[in-house]
Chain A
Amino acid sequence: MNDATVGYFLIGIAILFVLGLVFALSSRQGRLQQARATPPPGVHLPSGSFLPVLLAVGAALLGAGFAFRPAGMIANLFLAIPGLLVVVGSIFAWVRAANREWREIERAGHDGPGGH
């Protein structure tokens, strides 16, 4: 088995692992939502956030890391690694912020239609 075959085999394993992880997480999320099957009533708009901009900057860094790579390397690691860290960190922070907002609405309610 050559290096390429091993690499594709590992990608296949990674695909199955990610799908299993998604299944486990969405099952857990589904159980948590059994108690709150519907969103809080009224209209809720998310608060302003810099995280989408940060995510875009991270994605641009990551893309630049693959575009401007030194010869013989898969990516420019000085660009790609910080970009990847910023992307993953932004996604985690965004999910946490959304969950926090949901909990605050459930706890305190909101201003009704048009409120946020």
Chain B
Amino acid sequence: MTTAELQGAELPAPGRGRREAGMPTPLVGMLLFIASEVMFFGGLFAAYFNSRAAHAGAWHPPEGGELDLPLAAVLTAILVSSSFTMQFGVAAIRRGDQRGLRLWVGLTLILGVLFLLGQLYDYSRLGFGIGDGIFGTTFYTLTGFHGAHVFGGAVGMTVILSRALQGQFSAGNHVAVEAVSIYWHFVDVVWIALFTTIYILR
């Protein structure tokens, strides 16, 4: 295209199309936030592996304590299931199905709370605390921070459920649902990595 053609070309009106083009700003914000969270958990995983390498041969729960693999596996199944239910909720509101959104988000919230309560139950039966050696410290730091993130997701899910019950979402207006679902999937993926690292690769 020549300069003359460019000068003659019709320019879009200022401000037009800015909302329609590209990704909605809240989703960009959520993705940037998740990028920072990846760095955060990356640091925690680095601390875990570094501590484990420095204490090779003695990397096990303190005396009298034992990790409960079956319970952790059940909690993993609960959290992974909640990712599916969340995605069913997103699919429902994309179709404009508000009842489906309420149902699936409510179920996701219940599963998330079940995971948190299950984790607290697990903590109460472990037999060691955060101050009991390097294993206890890294275990509680990693799983505790993850639990805090699940709690944050549950708070977001509660707000979504409350707004959904008031019919504030539609097929064309549900960015908040998408943003919370992305966060929830991220929390789920982090738990899968944690479960694999702490409970499987022992």
Interface residues in chain A, defined as those with a beta carbon under 8 Å from any beta carbon in chain B: 4-5, 8-9, 11-12, 15-16, 18-19, 22-23, 26-27, 30-31, 34, 113
Contact = CB atoms under 8 A, between A and B. Distances in A.
A62 B32 CA distance: 26
Interface stretch (B35-43, B86-94, B157-165): B157-165
Nearest to B166: A30
Contacts of B129: 4
B198 interface: no
Interface in B94-146: 109, 113, 116-117, 120-121, 123-124, 129
Interface residues of B, number: 21
Contact of B158 (A4, A11, A12, A19): A19
A30 B162 contact: yes
Q: Is the interface of A mostly helix, strand, loop or mixed?
A: helix
B162 A23 contact: yes
26 contacts: A4-B123, A5-B124, A8-B120, A8-B121, A8-B123, A9-B124, A11-B120, A12-B117, A12-B120, A15-B117, A15-B154, A18-B155, A19-B155, A19-B158, A22-B162, A23-B158, A23-B161, A26-B158, A26-B159, A27-B162, A27-B166, A30-B162, A30-B166, A31-B166, A34-B166, A113-B15
Q: Specify the main secondary structure of chain B where it touches its partner.
A: helix
Interface of B: 15, 109, 113, 116-117, 120-121, 123-124, 129, 151, 154-155, 158-159, 161-163, 165-166, 168
A113 B129 CA distance: 56
Contacts of A30: 162-163, 166, 168
A26 B113 contact: no
Contacts of B158: 19, 22-23, 26
A84 B74 CA distance: 36
Contacts of A11: 120
A9 B120 CA distance: 8
A71 to B, nearest CB: 11
Contacts of A34: 166
Nearest to A30: B166
Contacts of B121: 8
Contacts of B155: 18-19, 22
Nearest to B159: A26
A15 B117 CA distance: 9
